[in-house]
Amino acid sequence: MAEIPKPDVKIYPDVSEIFRAKERRRKELAKLPIEEKLAMAEKLRDAAKLLRNSKRIEK
């Protein structure tokens, strides 16, 4: 059985490294082919519709 990969970041120096990693990821995504970007946009559109129609629960 193939070994399940472990996350490449386990311990962050501090939370700012998380944000730097997010920014790096954002730049990587900007370079994706248009087809992949469109697929992501469609996924987000579906999610947005679901979330917007979610009802708040009073507790």
Q: Which residues contact 29 (CB under 8 A, 6 or more apart)?
A: 37, 40
Positive or negative, the CA dihedral 45, 47, 50, 51 is negative
Q: Residue 3 CB, nearest distance to another protein (Å)?
A: 11
Q: Residue 38 CB, nearest distance to another protein (Å)?
A: 12
Binding site for another protein (CB under 8 A): 4-15, 18, 21-22, 25-26, 29, 40-41, 43-45, 47-48, 50-52, 54-57, 59
Q: Assign 15 to helix, strand or coil.
A: helix
Q: Residue 33 CB, nearest distance to another protein (Å)?
A: 15
